[in-house]
Structure 1
């Protein structure tokens, strides 16, 4: 987050400073704090502390023998936080606030040379274009063995804003948040691990704002465009009339792409991760980064076998007619691994079948089992989930990420209400 991004964040949050505590953030920070094992006497750094909602909860937990430092870039937020501290000066003598860009912590004099037992960043990670780089920087201020806690959004959380982000990206415009990477619990786990931290847990926090799930009509796109572009565009991202006209058409297009059966679903959830810096101060390297076999798989008769040295990605359920026909079912579930991590050890009965311009399918002629799809334009293979040998699997099974090609779904199939993304098509995979 450079100075330009910091300036946009100030524009975005300054006007919200004095009613920020009246929103859902008050309840969410309590739930956030409950997932961290804060002990008396510890030193905590609360990044993007805002009005101090989480900061003061942490101060209560560490007690008078501990200390909490809050950092935020928005002056209005910090004025509210300082006002709270002045109301109870003795109780919160263990709290300090500093204004600054949290991607330039080294420029804050009071933090130079310091490391903390715990670092938290609540409702903040979506503000940064490169979450891995941000966490790596923050981890420099974490003691060996220290705890880091952060959250990221569900892909259907605050859908109108997410659509606006996609529009801005297509127009090459900057927006003060970056949520596209956060698809599920595994997305957050991967970012934390890639930044060198060992993950203790990643959980889904339901009902972040209190509304659960809600459905919007596909025709409501214009109402949300007006609200987000005309009314709430405090950073003046779409101020130019020509840009605004282009944005309107793209907003409608992106909104309609999310619709299933004429409705767009919004899911009120976030993913919360708690991770640790290795006790020796080194970077954590996940076992899947080595060449150790993570899982094996194959067909029913054993004529096709494979091994993978990589954890599989999140699961995609495909309801296209091709998947339905080759499986004899209503869909096929796939997980994905990089080609260089996948080795076929037995192929005596393996044959290929091309049903689209996107990929070739592998199946077994001995028992008829569908095995995989190899995508022509990507160095990735989709493995049919049923071909995995679960007794060889090391690590956590992936979550369901999305349901695709629902426009071709067989009428007897009911799509589970699992919170995963739903798509009537899938642009990268044009099935015949």
Structure 2
């Protein structure tokens, strides 16, 4: 794989999305993740990849004034949106930090802190080595504390998965790692077990709440006017080859009628530290 800085790539992707991020399915899904966490008044919560503060604010309300929420995100643009929300809601039990969620030991604000719950919403697929990240996160749990984290179904977000496959074939980076979870819930369960967590439950939930048939031509335009996530594949010297490879990988997803059906499903794990 070509050399690149993953945190910088992810930061660029989400800086570009910050102002419009909440105009999507993300607010509903973040609320659902917080509901699954079953937060209680007085609990301390770590919200990783907190973004625009969608789960952070819900968690702040759930733990009330005697609880606390620490949000961490690599994107300054996303955190700016979160900080604006905090000011608007006059919340005093939340603190935010710009930092990589894969290197928490270097975040001085977390030194000596333990949490009742750790949330990571819609972000595990952004990590090159998610297993190592979950192992580190587990060390920040209080005894009996839980991690709530999600990954997509292998047949969800097919355009993004296809771009990853094209990136691998071109030896160019695409800053997502959905292919780490080809076995879906099985991979997620194993990751939690490897982190020393127990009492693991896996829920299957809707992400965008609509099944959809996806059309190839809707996504080839991403290479003509590339987003930050596809910018390497959209370079003029590789663009046409990338399009051909995308078509090749896309065709492999079709059923006998030539249709490509996405599965609207996310696996959410709740796993506890003994």
TM-score (norm 1): 0.60
Alignment partner, residue 73 of structure 2? 72
Query: C-alpha separation between the residues in 2 aligned to 1:45 and 1:129?
Result: 21
- Is 1:269 aligned to residue 265 of structure 2? yes
How many residue pairs get aligned? The number is: 269
Written as runs of structure 1 = structure 2, the 5 A alignment for 1:232-247 is 232-235=226-229, 236-247=231-242
Written as runs of structure 1 = structure 2, the 5 A alignment for 1:192-341 is 192-206=192-206, 208-211=207-210, 213-216=211-214, 220-226=215-221, 228-235=222-229, 236-261=231-256, 262-278=258-274
Determine if contact 1:154/1:269 at 8 Å carries over to the other structure.
yes
Alignment partner, residue 104 of structure 2? 105
Written as runs of structure 1 = structure 2, the 5 A alignment for 1:379-390 is none
- Unaligned runs of 5+ residues in structure 1 are 279-432
User: Displacement, 1:221?
Assistant: 2.5
User: Displacement, 1:3?
Assistant: 8.4
Alignment partner, residue 40 of structure 1? 41
Query: C-alpha separation between the residues in 2 aligned to 1:44 and 1:185?
Result: 24
Alignment partner, residue 186 of structure 2? 186
Determine if contact 2:147/2:271 at 8 Å carries over to the other structure.
yes
Cα distance per residue 1:298-342 (max 9 Å; x no partner): xxxxxxxxxxxxxxxxxxxxxxxxxxxxxxxxxxxxxxxxxxxxx
Cα distance per residue 1:24-72 (max 9 Å; x no partner): 1111111111111211111100000001110111111111111000011
Cα distance per residue 1:249-302 (max 9 Å; x no partner): 211110001111211111121110000111xxxxxxxxxxxxxxxxxxxxxxxx
- Unaligned runs of 5+ residues in structure 2 are none
Determine if contact 1:222/1:252 at 8 Å carries over to the other structure.
no
Determine if contact 1:193/1:199 at 8 Å carries over to the other structure.
no
The answer to which structure has the higher strand fraction is 1
Query: C-alpha separation between the residues in 2 aligned to 1:68 and 1:30?
Result: 15
Determine if contact 1:3/1:101 at 8 Å carries over to the other structure.
no
Query: C-alpha separation between the residues in 2 aligned to 1:238 and 1:14?
Result: 19
Query: C-alpha separation between the residues in 1 aligned to 2:116 and 2:105?
Result: 18
Query: C-alpha separation between the residues in 2 aligned to 1:42 and 1:232?
Result: 42
Query: C-alpha separation between the residues in 1 aligned to 2:217 and 2:24?
Result: 25
Determine if contact 1:70/1:95 at 8 Å carries over to the other structure.
yes
The answer to which structure has the higher helix fraction is 2
C-alpha RMSD over aligned residues:
1.6
- Which has the bigger relative contact order, CA under 8 A and spacing at least 6? 2
User: Displacement, 1:229?
Assistant: 2.0
Cα distance per residue 1:348-376 (max 9 Å; x no partner): xxxxxxxxxxxxxxxxxxxxxxxxxxxxx
Please give the secondary structure, in 1, of the residue aligned with 2:72. Answer: strand
Determine if contact 2:125/2:180 at 8 Å carries over to the other structure.
no
Alignment partner, residue 149 of structure 2? 150
User: Displacement, 1:202?
Assistant: 0.3
Determine if contact 2:115/2:142 at 8 Å carries over to the other structure.
yes
TM-score (norm 2): 0.93
User: Displacement, 1:186?
Assistant: 1.9
Query: C-alpha separation between the residues in 2 aligned to 1:231 and 1:272?
Result: 33
Determine if contact 1:71/1:99 at 8 Å carries over to the other structure.
yes
The runs of 4+ residues in structure 1 deviating greater than 3 Å are none
Determine if contact 1:44/1:67 at 8 Å carries over to the other structure.
yes
